[in-house]
Amino acid sequence: MDIPNDFHNIHVVITGATSGIGFFAAQSLAKQGALVIGVGRSEEHIEQAKKRILTRNPQARLEFFLADLSSQRQVRDLAKKIAHFLETNWESKLHALINNAGTVSNWFTATEDGYELQFAVNHLAPFLLTHELLPMLRQTPESRVITVSSNSHRNMRICWKDVMFRKGYNTLAAYKQSKLANVLFTYEFNRRETKISSVKAYAADPGLVNTEIGLKGTHGLVRWIWQKRSRHGASPERIGEEIAWLAVAPEVNTSVSAYWKHGQPLQPSRYAQREVEAARLWELSERLCGINSTTVESDILGSGPLVGGA
């Protein structure tokens, strides 16, 4: 895929940029001259990623920030650091945010905010980070929000009665729901933002990729299945380049589809395009992220259906 050559004035934030497709997206964009602001949760991995990129491209423009995206406090702190960095050096302009970081957990794990880990990292973190960085995205014409989803969103619904899967945790169901949430978020973002600015959101389906995401928080049968399937996946380098292209290629703007796979627009599941479900998830996500003050107790505890039906 051809990426535009003149990238000197392009600024891109990438979460999960120290490994897998996030790393290769960062490497691809840096190679073209873009300023890449990477996010990782380990100082050691950040230094390793920077060294790998700079070894191949000594002129690469890189800045990395440390953050654990399962923590909303750290997501907000991260956004402030990015905003300060861009304001100080780059006129507060942000051309693309790539929400790539993700996780899988074999068991129910509560974050410091009290939310299920996969839902928190895979959906709420992108939702909150996008919200916090939106003022800078709005200052930049035709900027983009790319959120890495998955084909696994298909044949899945939001479990409104127990969004956090507290009553009978299922690893794959929780993962699939978080990837569905990515698509619902993308479509609802566009419905709302089109009225305000030129920022557009896209959900990227990477397909089956040979990465270690499914091996980091799993064991037993789930780990074995993930390991076996991933061997047949595409290389993370190829998919990282596709994600980088989606974030900046001019021709993407000509498509009416917000869901892309391997450089081609596709239709996500019908459920993922339902406006009622997307609006409901948006409102819940605002509450869970403290963007408004409505109580979230029943949503967190899974103690009953939310407003709007089961």
Catalytic residue among 115, 175, 202, 259: 175
- Write out the DSSP string of 133-161: HHHHHHTSTT-EEEEE--GGGTT----GG
- The two tokens of residue 206 are 């990477």
Q: Please confirm, yes or no, whether 259 is among the known catalytic residues.
A: no
Own/partner contacts of 87-93, CB < 8 Å, gap of 24 or more, are 90/11, 90/35, 92/135, 92/136, 92/139, 93/9, 93/11, 93/136, 93/139, 93/140
The tokens describing 111, both together, are 């974050």
d(CA 121, CA 116): 9
Contact 38, 64 (CB under 8 A): yes
Active centre residues (catalytic) = 175
